[in-house]
Structure formats: structure tokens, C-alpha cells
Amino acid sequence: MTKRTIVTMPGDGIGKAVLKETLRVLKAAGFEANYVHGDIGWDCWCKEGNPLPDRTIKLLEEHKIGLFGAITSKPKDKTLAELAPELQGKGYTYYSPIVTMRQHFDLDICMRPCLSYKGNPLNFIRRTADGGVEEPQIDVMIFRQNTEGLYGGVEWTNPPDKVYDALMTHKKFVDNFAWCPRPELAVSTRIFTKKYVTRIVKAAFEYAKARGFKKITVCEKPNVIRETSGMMLKVAQEMSKAEYPNIWVEDVNIDAMTMWLTKNPENYNVIVAGNMFGDIVSDAFAGLIGGLGFATSAQFNPESGVCVFEPTHGSAPKYAGFETSIVNPIAMVSSAVMMLEHLGENAIAEKIKNAVAKVVAEGKVRSYDMKKMKGTPDVVNQGAASTTQMADAIIAALK
């Protein structure tokens, strides 16, 4: 069999350290692939005026599978100040390479798992009725629509005539907002399309079916946001009836969800939501399983097959310059596990997952975040494992 080619995009800051260690883990677990490097991030912006160079897009188009670390982005005044002098004044403008990658490849399906590892000192715990303490097992997959909704970018301040006139055809706008001077009016749209809503809901059902779960939870707000949230709920209910009669659809509003997840997080296994609510609910769940050192995600286009796997954390610039990297590689390693599952390499994926679980459960090797330490270069001398030592421990646990 010819080896697969994976596009590795370490990006900036700690993205480089966690990806490097993850590749060691993959190799030690027996995964064979060719890796090609794709440039992305702040350095590309500074040197080339383009944080997502065309050559990286071409690599992804060709090889389809990407493993991505993290990038740095900075406020507007810094973007121009840090651009190479020879590129200054030539009309370059910074854009988010991640959002652009999502839009370019139409990576509409975002999966964000939240799985608690036994023995993780960062796990959520709660009081029992008799005053004791218990730790619910959390195993949730959040399906976030990744390209539409409030993050779709269709928005205006001081909307142009045609937009304003169209708004004025809506009674609610006339009643509640027509008093506002136009230059003081800001509008961000929330656009859902049936095609992409159907795709994300379908992905959630398929996952529930494969894992044997009996319900999916639509986490929106259809009682208030009637058109868009309403569409997602209706699509889910109809799909349940027509194609998945054994999986029922639970309707939980986003606000209520953030309450329920700290009461009964174990009640949820498959959640589907639009872009912004999916972003919120996945960060909220991630907090229950250890936060950024553990939170991971995958983004797919089911038609073209392009997919990118990445930790949800950023480049953590304040730790990037340390001589010995101290950050937790588990989020990145878990992204690679999702990649393996996607490639059908389930045995290797399982092996790595079990190794991570073993390291966490044993508790002998822990990065600074798991030790609840403040992240300084000194933590390694104070008993915290470095990024490399964490990877070494995972590799040792593979056997």
C-alpha cells in the first residue's frame, strides 16, 4: 500500500512544539505516513504578507489531510508594524488564516470531543446529596456548524440603503430599531442554509448511530431565534423520523445547556449546534475535562474529503520562547487520534488513546497545567513534565 501523505502545519509558537512531539508519538505507535510541511501563520504574514500562502492551499488540495498546530494573530496596529519593511505600503492586509482555510475548503463539519480521562486532577467534580464528592464520566462529541451563522461575516455598521430598506420591510425592525440613527446601527446576520444544516445534523446522527447512542441534543434557541435555530431543530426532527427512528432528538436551549452541563454533564453524548453556540458549548464542556491542554477538534468537508485536525488552543506566545517547552501536548496528540480514526487506523488510534489514559491515570508524569502550576520556565525543575517528557511518557505507555 502506498503511504499516505499528511500536510503538517505547525504554525506559530507552541504549535511547533506540540506538533513535533505528536509526530514522535504517531511514529512510535506504528503509524506510517509521508509528511509534507505547510507554512501558515504570523511568520508567513511578516515575511510574505500572506498568512496562508497559496503553496499551502495547494498541498491541502492535493493531499487532503492536514495536521495543524496553532497560529498567532495580533491586533490591527501590530499587523502592519510587523510586516517586512520591503512589503510595507503595498496594500497587504492581514486576514485570519484559520477562517480563510475553513472558507476556502468549505470545512463545514467541526467535531469537538470532550472526554474526561480518569485521574485527571483538572476533571469536573460535584457534591453528592450526602455531602460526598463524585466525578461524572464525560464523553461528549460536539458537532459545530463551522462556516455559517453569526461567524459568516455578513455584517454592517451604518448599513447601505438596500440593506436598510430591506430591514425596514420587517415589522419588528420598524417597531424596535427604526428610531436608531443609521450611523449608530450595527447589524450582524445569522444565516443558516438547509444544505449545511442538514450536513451537520446528519454527521451527528451518523456518529450517534456508530457509537450506539439513543439521542442527539440540538443545542440552539428555537423558541426565540425561530428561523435559524428553528430550522436546525426541524431538520433534526424530520431526519430522526425518516432515517434514524431509534435516535430521538432532544431540544435544549444554549443558555440552559450551560447550566445543565455543570449539573449533569454525563447526560449528553452527541450535541449539534450552529457556529457560535457550538463554539460556546464546546469551550464550556472543555472546561470540565481539563481545558486547553485537552481540548481538540477536527474539521471536514464530507464532499471533497479535505480535513484538518487541530488542538483548540492557540499559540500561547508567552510560553513559546521557553528553552524547554512546558505545554501539554495531549490536545494535539488527541487531534492526531481523530485523524487516525478518520483514516480508519482504529487500532493505532486506540493504542494512543489508551496510552494517554494510562499516563493521566498513573499521574507520575504531569505537565504544569495538570499540576495546577503557574506556567514559568521553572516548572520543569519543580516537578512538572516538559512537552517532550509528556510525549516520552505516552510513548512508553504504548507498549
Give 41's Cβ-side CA count (13 Å radius).
21
Q: At its nearest, how many Å lie between Mg ion and the CB of residue 282?
A: 7
Q: At its nearest, how many Å lie between ligand NAI and the CB of residue 333?
A: 10
Q: Is 287 in the site for ligand NAI (CB under 6 A)?
A: no
Q: Please identify, among the stretches 108-116, 274-282, 325-333, 372-380, the one whose residues bind Mg ion according to the rule CB under 5 A.
A: 274-282
Q: Is 350 exposed, middle or buried (0-12, 13-18, 19+ CB in 10 A)?
A: middle
Q: Is 369 in the site for ligand NAI (CB under 6 A)?
A: yes
C-alpha cell, 172: 419588528
Considering CB distances under 5 to 8 angstroms, the limit depending on partner class, which of Mg ion, ligand NAI, none binds residue 327? ligand NAI
Give 205's Cβ-side CA count (13 Å radius).
23
3-state SS, residue 30:
coil
List the one residue from 279, 310, 345, 392 that touches Mg ion (CB under 5 A).
Answer: 279
Amino acid at position 77, single letter: D
Q: Tell me the C-alpha to C-alpha distance, in Å, between residue 296 and each of 186, 309, 332.
A: 33, 8, 7
- State the residue number with the nearest CB to Mg ion: 279
Nearer to ligand NAI, 15 or 149 (CB): 15
Q: What is the DSSP string of 219-256?
A: EE-TTTSTTHHHHHHHHHHHHHHHH-TTSEEEEEEHHH
C-alpha cell, 107: 470545512
Q: Is 12 in the site for Mg ion (CB under 5 A)?
A: no
Is 218 in contact with 250 (CB distance < 8 Å)?
A: yes
Q: Please identify, among the stretches 31-39, 175-183, 277-285, 295-303, the one whose residues bind Mg ion according to the rule CB under 5 A.
A: 277-285
**Number of residues binding to ligand NAI, judged by CB under 6 A:** 19
User: CB neighbours of 175 closer than 8 A, spacing ≥ 6?
Assistant: none
Q: At its nearest, how many Å lie between ligand NAI and the CB of residue 359?
A: 14
Measured distance CA(349)–CA(321) in Å, rounded: 31
Q: At its nearest, how many Å lie between ligand NAI and the CB of residue 337?
A: 15
List the one residue from 250, 375, 388, 398 that touches ligand NAI (CB under 6 A).
Answer: 375
Q: Is 310 in the site for Mg ion (CB under 5 A)?
A: no
3-state SS, residue 395:
helix
Binding mask 65-104 for ligand NAI (x = CB under 6 A): -----xxxx------------------------x------
Contact footprint for ligand NAI (CB under 6 A)? 18, 70-73, 98, 292-293, 313-318, 327-328, 331, 369, 375
